[in-house]
Amino acid sequence: MKKRNNLKIFLIGVFIFLIFGSATGLYAQEIFQDEVIADVAQKAIPSVVNIASSKEVTVEEPLFLFDPFFSLNIPKKRTARALGSGVIMSEDGYIVTNYHVIGEADKVEVRLSDGRTFAANIIGGDPKSDIAVIKIDAKDLPVMPLGDTSKLRIGTIVLAVGNPFGLSQTVTMGIISALGRSGLGITDYENFIQTDAAINPGNSGGALVNLKGELIGINTAILSETGGNVGVGFTIPVDLALSVMNSLIKHGKVIRGWLGVTVQDITPEIAKAMNLNSTKGVLIAGVEENSPAEKGGVRKGDVILELNSKPVINSSELRIRIAELPPGTQAKLKVLRDGKETELNVTAGDLSGASISMGEFEILDNKILGGATVSDITDVAREKLELPQKLQGTLVLKVENGSAAASIVRPGDVIMEIDNKETKNVEELKKVLSGSLGHKISVKIYRRGSVMRFSIVR
């Protein structure tokens, strides 16, 4: 009986120890995490600056002459102001921010965390990636170490540091909610990190930091119907920001690499049609004539699995990685062709020097678009014609004088739909035109920033 009571006492003691020890451990872990977050915040804050930009604009104001129904519009000058954040990238004063923070500003003022204020020079800006670089005349500035974005994981704790609503040195915490976000129409080159760390107006250009105190991104935008934080913020990965920054500093503009391919994501339907085992990689939908890709042996129908030994996630990510290739450097592609993997070496070209020409097709149906020469939309076309990244359709390259197409389309137009059927590429356009169409046909076209519809009566 005595032994049994001793055993009970022992077991109760073990139970109490486990409960108390577990609670103590969790409490200690919580204190440790709090200290880590506080330490990271204190180290990151000095590297994030407040930016105030201003630009003089001319607006017309009505001047009433005796009668309110008769007035003159008098041009008057006003100063447009914007507030944002920036991240110090070098000890001698280079700062990265968003292009939309400084835009075409006349004056930019930077305030450091220690209260010092500097006038900044605009080094350059790239609206396609929404990155801009400014410079202040200072030395020995605090610079954050850079993180490795290839190792980011969904669920990782992050801090957003910036100046929301002009409130300097504000830190919010959240997690990485998603990676590789694209197709949002925020910028032309999208590969966003999504976070639920609170990002509000004024946070733009600020830092997203991991718990190692490393910079992993430049906060850029929020998805919100009210304009305030709802837990969906987007950040430009630091490697993309760094690539744009270096090009702006060195060349005064962004020099982007070019291979000359049209790519698309592999859907389950495409994988089934091509007898692919998975949807991994990116499909080559077209190869431009005399392009670096064609010279390097890339073929239509190839599936790119890797670029420079790094797996290819999706078409948006691949487009950015190609753009980051310095012209003249060699890119190693691992492609899947006819069920076999092979490696190709392609020398990157300069996107700005490329011409718009690829896979031209003449539409033969003279009753609708006869005389129009069209092609798929390539990266070169998007760059040269400043077409939105989300825009899908078939690009019009040429139109014969007096042809059926001449009364509907012009060179540079993008044919988006015919009879409410999407025409995302040449193949789809040809399929729609060869199908059953009514007596009255509607054509949806994108032209210089506007979307319009035309009707054709056959």
For the stretch 209-231, pLDDT in tens is 999 999 999 999 887 766 666 77
The verdict on whether 100 is a catalytic residue reads: yes
Report the CATH number of the 149-250 domain: 2.40.10.10
Supply the pLDDT for residue 146. 93
pLDDT in tens, 285-323: 888 878 898 899 999 889 999 999 888 888 888 888 888
- Out of 85, 204, 243, 291, the active site residue is 204
For the question of residue 439 being annotated catalytic, the response is no
In the chain, domain spans? 2-45, 48-135, 149-250, 257-353, 361-457
Q: Does the active-site annotation cover 39?
A: no
- The CATH number for 48-135, chosen from 3.40.50.1820, 3.50.50.60, 3.40.50.920, 2.40.10.10, is 2.40.10.10
CATH class given for the domain over 257-353: mainly beta
Q: Write out pLDDT tens, residues 158-167.
A: 999 988 887 7
Q: Which of 126, 130, 196, 376 is catalytic?
A: 130
pLDDT tens string 364-382:
556 777 888 888 887 777 7
> 361-457, which class in CATH?
mainly beta
Decide if 257-353 and 361-457 have a common fold.
yes
Residue 201: how many other CB atoms lie within 10 Å: 17
User: Which of the following is catalytic: 47, 53, 85, 100?
Assistant: 100
